[in-house]
Chain A
Amino acid sequence: GAVVSQHPSRVICKSGTSVKIECRSLDFQATTMFWYRQFPKQSLMLMATSNEGSKATYEQGVEKDKFLINHASLTLSTLTVTSAHPEDSSFYICSARDLGQGIYEQYFGPGTRLTVT
């Protein structure tokens, strides 16, 4: 149980275009999902906290108009990188909390490698 999927796993897009990444909890309901960006030196940077049915809470320094987050259902959150640029190339990882397991644990998706050319 507690599986989180992400789609796509890899995406290459041209500079100026937008890319949508999906995060799904497959076998549990998640009122809260998190979006992270991972840099080449391994550090995991929290971008935003996504709550079902409400606006996402962005961390300081993250542009909310550039990284659009929607959490329309208890099993799906999406991250859209708008007007992507090469500096947005990164590994994006989502995670979700399983209410049935208590509020402490996060289950992570496999990540999406975004390359902007």
Chain B
Amino acid sequence: GDSVTQMEGPVTLSEEAFLTINCTYTATGYPSLFWYVQYPGEGLQLLLKATKADDKGSNKGFEATYRKETTSFHLEKGSVQVSDSAVYFCALTRVNAGKSTFGDGTTLTVKP
């Protein structure tokens, strides 16, 4: 079955540091890939997405590239801010599966 494996957290960085959160997946066919962000006490918000190989999703300074050869969708940001502190979820959706598969989430804490 489908699966998503995320880098285990928690991740603690200083403000303006470079961020990478690794995500790899297992799925048949050509899934769409997503990163969601969850701030404390809230639901999930879509951060970025990519629907086919080599697509790059980007939003709010975050980027992730759909790499089919390595089945990866790593999240990166060049300079994190304290306000980026949250839990980040990698997810995939296959058209004929309907539902999405989520990773376990990675907690990011950015210190001033």
Using a CB–CB distance below 8 Å, which chain B residues touch chain A? Answer: 32, 34, 36, 41-46, 49, 51, 87, 89, 93, 95, 98-100, 102, 104-105, 107
Contacts and interface: CB of A to CB of B under 8 A. Distances in A.
B98 A44 contact: no
Contact of B89 (A44, A104, A111, A113): A44
Q: How large is the interface on A (under 10, 10 to 19, 20 to 34, 35 or more residues)?
A: 20 to 34
A61 B87 CA distance: 26
A108 interface: yes
A71 to B, nearest CB: 14
Given A93-B43, A104-B93, A105-B49, A46 B36 contact: no
Contacts of A6: 43
Chain A binding site: helix, strand, loop or mixed by DSSP? Answer: strand
A44 B105 contact: yes
B32 A104 contact: yes
A67 interface: no
B44 A42 contact: no
B46 A107 contact: yes
Contacts of B46: 105-107
A96 to B, nearest CB: 11
A108 B44 contact: yes
A108 B99 contact: no
